[in-house]
């Protein structure tokens, strides 16, 4: 732009005054030009009580933090990026209702579906949605019967603060279809295509600021950020603290179980309605933050269970390997300990537990062991039965246990054993993979009779395809059998401190394959 030279000094002075006035006016107006909208984020929260021996997490502390932030930043939206109904020790009893109670007290605003929301089937999730005082948002989870989002959840919501509007839509992992139990009537649409459609629809209403609330893998989140014009992605699923940028949009994921609270401040222009800048901080949730007293009612309601779960039953001086990807592929110290406990408790020759029934899916750090730890490893209430069988059948049982080891990444049938030592080679045909096999130090004798302690899931229900156990004789039936968790807990209590370590009882000759990434 060309300005004509001022015609007189008087005019020049007037011009300077006008400019100065404009500059000072804009300086004064600047703070009022943007509206700060604060997104508070947690994701993958499976229990409301603190974790890590009380040091981290705890939703009563999150409520204290939330109230403090709201005082300072009143335009706040509190978000959960999915995975809360399952899995947990509490959910064995309450099927996630205890978490909905907690979120209702916390004043959660919106959640999207995580893959684990469908673990108890679609009807239980519908019930949980009815109990929720907050809204579930889901753009790509569709009920085939209605053609609309599952449970009549809105695909997106719009919030208005001081004249600026924020649109927010939900996305869930497509693989939920096969990794959880949504049933035949629920389908999961492609996240990228859905995000494009959502942004278009929200923009069409003149809303410039769009947030995706997602439960996807980081690579999918990055793809969504590249293919759709979102301003930020509030995500989850990985269980670890992740901060990334893709397609110009930041992506946030907090560590599981509310170990952090994410505070993401969107500075939105009042004139354009678009995000001008974003500030954020990751707030650790620790025992330095007091519980909000409002939460006490929940602790009362579930107090008896929480007290029982936090009861210390012993100690481990070593880390306990309870990760699924490991326990379904090779001998682990937890697998050995369980199979040893089964064998000892029933005075059997051999103990066997399928890797798929050993849960927790984490490396449990050395230290105190609580009732919660035991139940997180053995949540299924299986019973430890005793069978009698020929050596030939026992060999068949073990062959079955390794028959999918080369074919599947995490075969649930994989046998964790006691009293036997064996070597197998996944490159050999299924059914003849075991190359060496001894029982209590002696080569297995096909004609001899052996006793086996195992779970009723395998022995009575023939779970994981152990049908051959039909021809074994039952010595301790289900009706007289102890719970697996009680057997293992008793073994811990008896020793006070345990230090299980693998002793090479299972040798695998084809160990080149690496375990698949864990699924959260």
Whether 294 contacts 74, CB under 8 Å: no
Q: What is the DSSP letter of 444?
A: -
Kindly state the smallest distance separating residue 43's Cβ from Zn ion, in Å. Answer: 9
Kindly state the smallest distance separating residue 267's Cβ from Zn ion, in Å. Answer: 31
Whether 142 contacts 99, CB under 8 Å: no
Show the tokens assigned to 308: 């029982």
Kindly state the smallest distance separating residue 114's Cβ from Zn ion, in Å. Answer: 5
Closest C-alpha to 273, from 187, 198, 207, 174? 207
Q: Pick between residue 112 and residue 209 the one whose CB is nearest to Zn ion.
A: 112
Q: Pick between residue 235 and residue 351 the one whose CB is nearest to Zn ion.
A: 235
Q: Pick between residue 179 and residue 438 the one whose CB is nearest to Zn ion.
A: 179
Whether 36 contacts 75, CB under 8 Å: yes
Show the tokens assigned to 407: 């074919």
Closest C-alpha to 383, from 464, 454, 307? 454
Show the tokens assigned to 375: 């139940």
User: Would you tell me which residues interact with Zn ion (CB under 5 A)?
Assistant: 83, 114-115, 237, 520
Q: Pick between residue 115 and residue 289 the one whose CB is nearest to Zn ion.
A: 115
Closest C-alpha to 195, from 174, 173, 169, 165? 169
Rounded Cα gap, residues 352 and 123, in angstroms? 35
Pairing of strands 506-508, 420-424: parallel
Kindly state the smallest distance separating residue 19's Cβ from Zn ion, in Å. Answer: 57
Q: Pick between residue 175 and residue 408 the one whose CB is nearest to Zn ion.
A: 175
SS3 content of the chain, % helix, strand, coil (to 5): 35, 30, 35
Residue nearest to Zn ion as judged by C-beta position: 237
Residue owning tokens 């401040």: 265
Kindly state the smallest distance separating residue 44's Cβ from Zn ion, in Å. Answer: 6
Q: Pick between residue 237 and residue 330 the one whose CB is nearest to Zn ion.
A: 237
Closest C-alpha to 253, from 118, 114, 160? 114
Kindly state the smallest distance separating residue 217's Cβ from Zn ion, in Å. Answer: 9
Kindly state the smallest distance separating residue 200's Cβ from Zn ion, in Å. Answer: 27
Kindly state the smallest distance separating residue 179's Cβ from Zn ion, in Å. Answer: 9
Q: Pick between residue 237 and residue 413 the one whose CB is nearest to Zn ion.
A: 237
Q: Pick between residue 51 and residue 393 the one whose CB is nearest to Zn ion.
A: 51
Straight-line distance from the first to the last Cα atom of the chain, in angstroms, rounded to the nearest whole number: 58
């Amino acid at each position: 732009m060309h300005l004509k030279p001022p015609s007189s000094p008087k005019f020049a002075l007037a011009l300077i005054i006008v400019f100065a006035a404009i500059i000072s006016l804009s300086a004064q107006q600047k703070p009022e030009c943007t509206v700060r909208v604060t997104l508070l984020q947690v994701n993958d929260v499976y229990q409301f009580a603190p974790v890590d021996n009380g040091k981290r997490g705890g939703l009563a502390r999150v409520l204290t933090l939330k109230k403090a932030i709201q005082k300072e930043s009143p335009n706040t939206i509190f978000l959960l990026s999915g995975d809360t109904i399952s899995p947990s020790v509490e959910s064995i009893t309450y099927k996630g209702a205890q978490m909905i109670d907690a979120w209702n007290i916390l004043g959660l605003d919106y959640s999207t579906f995580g893959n684990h929301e469908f673990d108890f089937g679609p009807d239980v999730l519908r019930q949980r949605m009815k109990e929720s005082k907050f809204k579930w948002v889901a753009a790509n989870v569709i009920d085939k019967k209605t053609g609309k989002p599952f449970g009549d959840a809105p695909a997106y919501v719009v919030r208005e603060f001081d004249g600026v509007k924020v649109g927010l839509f939900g996305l869930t992992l497509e693989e939920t279809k096969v990794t959880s139990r949504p049933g035949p009537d629920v389908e999961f649409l492609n996240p990228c295509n859905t995000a494009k459609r959502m942004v278009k629809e929200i923009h069409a209403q003149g809303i410039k600021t769009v947030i995706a609330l997602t439960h996807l893998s980081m690579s999918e989140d990055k793809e969504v950020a590249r293919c759709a014009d979102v301003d930020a992605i509030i995500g989850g699923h990985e269980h670890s603290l992740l901060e990334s940028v893709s397609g110009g949009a930041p992506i946030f994921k907090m560590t599981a179980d509310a170990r952090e609270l994410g505070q993401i401040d969107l500075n939105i222009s009042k004139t354009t309605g678009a995000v001008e800048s974003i500030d954020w901080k990751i707030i650790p949730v620790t025992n330095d933050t007091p519980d909000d007293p409002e939460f006490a009612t929940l602790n009362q309601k579930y107090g008896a269970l929480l007290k029982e779960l936090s009861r210390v039953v012993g100690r481990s001086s070593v880390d306990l390997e309870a990760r699924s990807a490991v326990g379904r592929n090779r001998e682990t110290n937890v697998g050995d300990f369980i199979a040893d406990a089964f064998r000892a408790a029933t005075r059997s020759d051999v103990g066997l537990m399928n890797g798929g029934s050993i849960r927790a899916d984490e490396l449990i750090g050395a230290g105190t062991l609580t009732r919660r730890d035991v139940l997180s490893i053995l949540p299924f209430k299986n019973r430890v039965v005793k069978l009698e069988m020929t050596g030939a059948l026992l060999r068949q049982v073990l062959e079955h246990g390794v028959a999918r080891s080369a074919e599947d990444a995490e075969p649930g049938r994989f046998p964790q054993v006691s009293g036997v030592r064996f070597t197998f080679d996944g490159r050999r045909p299924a059914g003849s993979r075991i190359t060496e096999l001894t029982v209590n130090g002696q080569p297995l004798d096909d004609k001899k009779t052996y006793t086996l302690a195992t779970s009723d899931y395998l022995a009575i229900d023939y779970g994981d395809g152990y049908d051959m156990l039909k021809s074994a004789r039952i010595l301790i039936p289900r009706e007289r059998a102890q719970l697996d968790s009680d057997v293992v807990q008793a073994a811990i209590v008896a020793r006070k401190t345990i230090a299980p370590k693998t002793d090479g009882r299972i040798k695998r000759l084809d160990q080149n394959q690496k375990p698949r990434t864990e699924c959260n």
